[in-house]
Structure 1
Amino acid sequence: MRIGILSDSHDQIGRTAAAVALLAAEGAEILIHCGDLTEASVVHTVAGAGLACHYVLGNNDFDLEGIERAVGATGGSLHGWAAELELAGRRVGVTHGHLTGEFRRLLAAEPDYLLFGHSHQ
């Protein structure tokens, strides 16, 4: 199972669409977005490739209701501020990275992978 990872889209529809297309072309089956979608329109862009999508919220995701509606409309899964997922037999922790308590909680759970954004690196 190939997993694509994105974070910190910040309303950049063109860049996000290009990144999603690249991940899909490389065989990604699942896409994880580590927060800072910023607007619901980005959710539609992320979901456009037809991949199974998982999202956590970031510190710039102010339109929570709009994002929640968009994720529901596109068949994705919105996990709030953090997620613990089981994918391909691996435990994956996902958070944006701005909430120290969530980051530490996930780290303490000792996942196989811990995904986060926020730093823009």
Structure 2
Amino acid sequence: MLLGLLSDSHDHVLHIKQAVTIFKDESVDLVLHAGDFCSPFTIPPFEGLPLKGVFGNNDGDHYLLLEKFKEIGAEHMGTFGEFELSGERIALYHGTDHPITTALEVCSNYDIVVSGHTHKKKAKIVNDTLAINPGTVHGFGGEATVALVDTETMKVDFKELTG
């Protein structure tokens, strides 16, 4: 399966739309957002994509974010999500508390751990777990990125967003 990963979009709708285009062009099977959408108006661009997300530390009105998720048929998992996909155990966490992120990566309970928060892309194997941070969709004047992950090969491909 092909996963589309993103985090820390921080209301940057132009980059969100670019990410959605990349995910559609690549025919991803599932999109995972590791939080910091910030405002509810950032959710509608994901309509038509299978989306799971979690809250980040900068997400505003949780109630309205959850409502927007419902409106587009997406799944919001609260502050932490775990699920199985094609035999792979996946954890999705914003990464607000670094010791928790590290514990998820080293505990060997998951095949893939997706986190954000640091705004720095990362893909490394910790024990037998792929620990990945897709970077920041916003960019904050630097590199804005999303990631594609093939769950069969565990190959990670970072894509840069422009504009």
In structure 2, what is the equivalent of residue 115 of structure 1? 114
In structure 2, what is the equivalent of residue 9 of structure 1? 9
TM-score after normalising by structure 1? 0.90
Of 72, 80, 89 in structure 2, the residue corresponding to residue 82 of structure 1 is 80
In structure 2, what is the equivalent of residue 72 of structure 1? 70
Alignment partner of 1:21: what SS?
helix
Unaligned runs of 5+ in 2: 121-163
Unaligned runs of 5+ in 1: none
How far does the alpha carbon of each residue in 1:1-23 deviate from its partner, in whole angstroms, 9 at most, with x for none? 21100100000001110011112
Between the aligned partners of 1:114 and 1:59, the Cα distance in structure 2 is 18
**CA 1:79–1:105: 2 relative to 1, 3 Å:** farther
Please tell me the root mean square deviation across aligned C-alpha atoms, in Å: 1.5
Paired amino acid for 1:37: F
Task: Report deviation, 1:27.
Answer: 1.6
Between the aligned partners of 1:3 and 1:60, the Cα distance in structure 2 is 24
More strand by share: 2
Of 103, 107, 113 in structure 1, the residue corresponding to residue 101 of structure 2 is 103
Between the aligned partners of 1:103 and 1:25, the Cα distance in structure 2 is 31
More helix by share: 1
Q: In terms of Rg, which structure is larger?
A: 2
Task: Report deviation, 1:102.
Answer: 4.6
How far does the alpha carbon of each residue in 1:79-111 deviate from its partner, in whole angstroms, 9 at most, with x for none? 111111111210001100003465356343620
Alignment partner of 2:43: what SS?
helix
Between the aligned partners of 1:119 and 1:44, the Cα distance in structure 2 is 25
> Do the aligned partners of 1:32 and 1:53 also contact (CA within 8 Å) in 2?
yes
In structure 2, what is the equivalent of residue 38 of structure 1? 38
Task: Report deviation, 1:37.
Answer: 0.2
Alignment partner of 1:120: what SS?
coil
> Do the aligned partners of 1:38 and 1:62 also contact (CA within 8 Å) in 2?
yes
Between the aligned partners of 2:100 and 2:79, the Cα distance in structure 1 is 8
Paired amino acid for 1:42: T
